[in-house]
Amino acid sequence: MRTASALLFFALVLCIASARAGDTLRWKWAPGDETRYLMSQTMNMSLNGGPMGQINSTTDQNMLMSWRVSEAPASEGAELVQSTERIVMNMKGPMGQGFDYDSASETAPVGMAAMVAPIFDALVAAKLKLVVTERGEVASVAMPEELTAAFENMPGGAVSADMVTQMSKQGMLKFPEEPIEVGESWTDSTDVASPQMGAMRINITYTYNGMKDVEGRRLAAFTPQMSMTIADPESQPMPVTFETRESGGEILFDPETGRIVSSRIEQTTDVIVSVNGQEMRNEIQQTTTMRALAPGEQPELSPQTDSNAEVSPSQEPAEVAP
């Protein structure tokens, strides 16, 4: 009886231990492997223009990119070569103003499209080298000098090279060291240098929802929640605070291939700027999606013939197809 009881107790302990062990999820990097993604972003901004009232704008951006695992050895992980095949952007501003941009167009950009073209052209021409661990931690990002120079020459310093680094890290899902249990959450943070707002911190909290069947595949599902804070208040050129009103979405990861299959992150944030003792509240709604492409797949984007053109109030901007 004692032996049977002991064995039963031991079996129960093993069951409990197995239930608590969770899942160990890792990226898988084999030299020569390549994965292509379509990353799409929609941003709606409602800015407080003071005497001018609310200023609304919508930006749609689509980017075809790929990760190829290099043969080069890396002590901290695998070296990935990140390439951008094509960028398509459509912006609609107040009073019908806006522009279309397509890096694949043979038409020379004009107006506002000509202002963003140097950065996007440099991104398409550049190849970034990322060193990434099997946990998805980006140990380093090497950026070509030409791309760094394009950011430095951007009028008004609208964007920074840090934003490209942050975008590269955002495409990864960083797993904890230990196995994760259903319902467990963890937060990954990245600091970004913004010329207008100073040092910002992007925080993404992931919650593991367990495995789910999607079109015959067993995928790990996560809910992401994003927030922004000021990393260094002393670096701020102006007093700015962030309030996250809503954030959510879903990330699907294939444990067998060790790759993200798809991700969607939605966020609504109030950006509060203090001017002469008064608070000006601005709203930003942003949705970022990324999905892995099938071999040889070429997703439809906006027509090249309508791109790289400035849109006048009498010309309605064309939609960018996802």
The CATH number of residue 259's host domain is: 2.30.230
pLDDT at 8: 42
The answer to the question of residue 173 being in a domain is yes
Classify residue 12: in a domain, yes or no.
no
Residue 18 lies in a domain: no
Over 50: is that where the pLDDT of 9 sits? no
pLDDT at residue number 273: 84
- At 13-65, the pLDDT tens digits run 344 343 444 688 999 999 999 999 999 999 999 987 666 678 899 999 999 99
Q: What is the mean pLDDT of the chain?
A: 81
For residue 160, is it within any domain?
A: yes
Full domain range(s) for residue 245: 25-311
- Residue 23 is classified by DSSP as B
Query: Which is higher by pLDDT, 92 or 15?
Result: 92
Residue 253 lies inside a defined structural domain of this protein = yes
Examine residue 8 and state whether it is found in any structural domain, yes or no.
no
> What pLDDT shows up at residue 33?
94
- Helices 145-152 and 161-170 sit at what angle, rounded to 10 degrees? 120
Average pLDDT over residues 52-79: 87
Structure confidence by residue, pLDDT tens digits, 261-296:
999 999 999 988 877 777 888 899 999 999 999 998
Tell me if 186 is assigned to some domain: yes
pLDDT of residue 231: 78
Give the Cα separation of 62 and 21 in Å (integer).
39
Q: Would you call 128 helix, strand, or coil by DSSP?
A: strand
Count of CB atoms situated within 10 Å of the CB of 73? 8
* Most trustworthy range by pLDDT among 8-22, 62-76, 216-230: 216-230
Evaluate whether 89 touches 302 at the Cβ level (below 8 Å): no
Cα Dmax for the chain: 90
In a domain, 14, yes or no: no
With 50 as the cut, is the pLDDT of residue 299 above it?
yes
pLDDT at 175 over 70: yes
Give the residue from 92, 43, 124 showing the smallest Cα distance to 318: 92
- Report the pLDDT value the prediction gives residue 66, as an integer from 0 to 100: 94
Mean pLDDT of 181-202: 83
Please report the pLDDT score of residue 246 as a whole number.
93
pLDDT of residue 4: 43
pLDDT at residue 317, as a whole number:
37
pTM as predicted? 0.82
Query: What's the pLDDT score for residue 310?
Result: 65
Please write the tens of the pLDDT for every residue from 131-174: 999 999 988 888 888 887 877 777 655 555 666 666 676 678 99
